[in-house]
Amino acid sequence: MMAGLRERKKEQTRRRISEVALRLFDERGYDAVTVNEIAEAAGVAKVTLFNYFPTKECLVTDGVEEDMAAVVVAGRAEGRAPIEALREHYLATAGQGAGEVDVEALLVRIRVIGSSPSLLGAVYGAHMGQRYQLAAALADGREGDLTAHLMAAQITAAVTTLQESFFHRLSAGESLEEAGRRLAADVELAFDLLENGFKSIKGEKS
């Protein structure tokens, strides 16, 4: 009981620090705000802030690196194709209910990241890490497997594009429910292309 209460208090403190940091960054710019100012505004000691967020950068990018693609591929059922497992995973993500996402907080985070070259670089680095993890899962122990690296590059690029489109729709005022519905259709299109290639798209010359 006490352990559960402590965990809830820790999560509340973590959320408060994150919300205060994002608000200040959004108002004044990432580089103009110091960690001391964030700690003071959140009502915590600087050492407490660093217990939750080891660096200033983590106040914004925390969670960005938590893509599950490599885990999904590594944990898929025997005989199941990686693309099938990933399609199901991202469709399930697209189908999450409105209660799963704080849209306003998400849009603030996107604005803050988009306005800071250093944060954009950190996100790019996180995406590169995800790509190499996915390549390792696809290679399944085969050293220097170029096919696995090419597949991982295409999958991560597709997923990043899906995320950007989803964020753009939310920024344009689309409801979370509608953006999620359209995201599910986009996931199907993206994985159809990944699975079948561009030849599956019937184009007509003008």
201 Cβ contact partners less than 8 Å away, ≥ 6 residues apart: 193
Q: What is the pLDDT of residues 61-83, one digit of tens each?
A: 886 656 789 999 999 999 999 99
Amino acid making up residue 83: I
Q: Would you say residue 206 has pLDDT above 60?
A: no
Q: What is the pLDDT of residues 123-137, one digit of tens each?
A: 888 889 999 999 999
At 97, the pLDDT band (50, 70, 90 cuts) reads: low
**Mean pLDDT confidence for 145-174:** 93
Whose tokens are 């007509």? That residue is: 204
- The Cα 123–Cα 2 span in angstroms is 37
- The Cα 183–Cα 91 span in angstroms is 8
Query: Is residue 194 within 8 Å of 85, Cβ to Cβ?
Result: no
Neighbours of 135 (CB within 10 A): 22
